[in-house]
């Protein structure tokens, strides 16, 4: 059944309005991306310095002083709480997704590759893993699955502040201290450029271990540190900052990738709308030309009949 001119015209107008919306959303996402990139550049310097210090302390075996320290029994989190290594009976996964849609394959990519990583480590819906979800998409997804969701945080700002992350770090470290899981991985999408991102997994807890000592990013340390007032006090100040910097850096990175994915998805939607409008306009012109030809034929036929 042929579509009438009015129907085609209505679809053209509707598609143009949709294109205006997606173009506006692309501009908003691009502005947010530029804003968070400016914020991230300055923070990366701080994060790299903190990581370098902790790696140096680990390689100089100063971490042993913190491990030897007594774990806190009150609500405060001590350096010993973050360093203690125990047999792994349950693994925690801090999964960072977005709170909204219209970001292309951003969320599905994080969830799929997190699930693949969990399967590789033998955690497939059992009681040996727990999900800590940052972002509504991940929280809603895992709530409808057999996997246990032990913590969720929704409504992360477009440009997250450090105070937001403090709440997350405090909660997850307390859960680790209370034995709700014995190790913690942070899973998120790393921003590569405006057109692509890649999946990253970082081990957050316990701090230290072979991963930090043998990461290959920092030079070998042979000298021993002299600390004042004591190694325990030094680690008590540095290690919580290190944990916060890892989570905050991951959330910043993930948010940057989210804005880039949103901008790319909206640009693709706008391009598709433009292509669809072009096809509809061609269809409209053909229908109009056919109607005009029919009218001319009828007029010519009527005139011939009168003669």
Q: Give how many domains the chain has, as a whole number.
A: 1
The CATH number given to whatever domain includes residue 164 is: 3.40.1380.10
Q: Give 158's pLDDT tier (boundaries 50, 70, 90).
A: confident
For the record, the structure tokens of 107 come out as 């969320």
CB 177, CB 107: distance < 8 Å: no
> What digits encode the pLDDT tens for the residues 174-225?
888 888 888 889 999 988 888 888 898 988 888 765 555 455 554 555 556 6
Q: Give 73's pLDDT tier (boundaries 50, 70, 90).
A: very low
Q: Decide if 149 is inside a domain.
A: yes
**Prediction pTM value:** 0.80
91-95, 133-137, 189-193, 296-300, range with the lowest pLDDT:
296-300
The confidence score (pLDDT) of residue 213 equals: 47
Question: Any bridge partners for residue 95, and if so which?
Answer: 133, 187
**Cβ neighbours of residue 276 under 8 Å, at least 6 residues apart?**
15
The confidence score (pLDDT) of residue 75 equals: 45
Strand 148-153, strand 183-193: pairing: unpaired
How many Å apart are CA 238 and CA 50, to the nearest integer? 8
Q: Decide if 274 is inside a domain.
A: no
Q: Decide if 296 is inside a domain.
A: no
Question: Any bridge partners for residue 240, and if so which?
Answer: none
Q: Decide if 269 is inside a domain.
A: no
> What digits encode the pLDDT tens for the residues 87-120?
888 899 999 999 888 888 899 999 999 999 988 8
The confidence score (pLDDT) of residue 134 equals: 92
Q: Decide if 101 is inside a domain.
A: yes
Q: Decide if 295 is inside a domain.
A: no
CB 170, CB 163: distance < 8 Å: no
How many Å apart are CA 140 and CA 187, to the nearest integer? 16
Query: How many other β-carbons are positioned within 10 Å of the β-carbon of residue 243?
Result: 24
Q: Decide if 156 is inside a domain.
A: yes
Q: Decide if 203 is inside a domain.
A: yes
* Domain carrying residue 152: 22-264
């Amino acid at each position: 059944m042929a579509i009438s001119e009015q129907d085609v015209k209505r679809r053209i107008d509707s598609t143009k309005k949709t294109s205006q919306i997606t173009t506006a959303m692309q501009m908003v996402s691009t502005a947010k991306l530029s804003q968070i990139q400016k914020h991230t550049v300055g923070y990366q310097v701080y994060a790299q310095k903190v990581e370098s210090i902790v790696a140096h302390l680990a390689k100089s075996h100063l971490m042993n002083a913190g491990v030897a320290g007594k774990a806190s029994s009150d609500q405060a989190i001590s350096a010993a709480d973050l360093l203690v290594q125990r047999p792994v009976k349950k693994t925690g996964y801090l999964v960072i997704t977005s709170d909204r849609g219209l970001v292309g394959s951003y969320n599905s990519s994080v969830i799929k590759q997190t699930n693949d990583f969990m399967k590789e480590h033998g955690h497939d819906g059992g009681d040996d893993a727990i999900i800590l979800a940052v972002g509504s998409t991940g929280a809603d997804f895992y709530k409808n699955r057999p996997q246990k969701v032990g913590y969720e945080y929704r409504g992360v700002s477009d440009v997250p502040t450090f105070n937001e992350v403090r709440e997350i770090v405090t909660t997850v470290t307390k859960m680790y201290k209370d034995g709700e899981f014995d190790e913690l991985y942070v899973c998120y999408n790393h921003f590569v450029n405006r057109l692509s991102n890649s999946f990253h997994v970082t081990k957050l807890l316990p701090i230290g271990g072979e991963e930090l000592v043998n990461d290959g990013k920092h030079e070998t340390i042979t000298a021993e540190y002299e600390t004042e007032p004591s190694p325990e006090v030094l680690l008590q100040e540095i290690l919580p900052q290190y944990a916060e910097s890892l989570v905050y850096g991951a959330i910043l990175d993930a948010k940057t990738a989210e804005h880039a994915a949103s901008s790319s998805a909206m640009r693709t939607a706008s391009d598709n709308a433009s292509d669809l409008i072009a096809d509809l306009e061609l269809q409209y012109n053909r229908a109009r030309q056919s109607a005009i030809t029919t009218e001319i034929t009828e007029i010519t036929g009527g005139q011939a009949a009168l003669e």
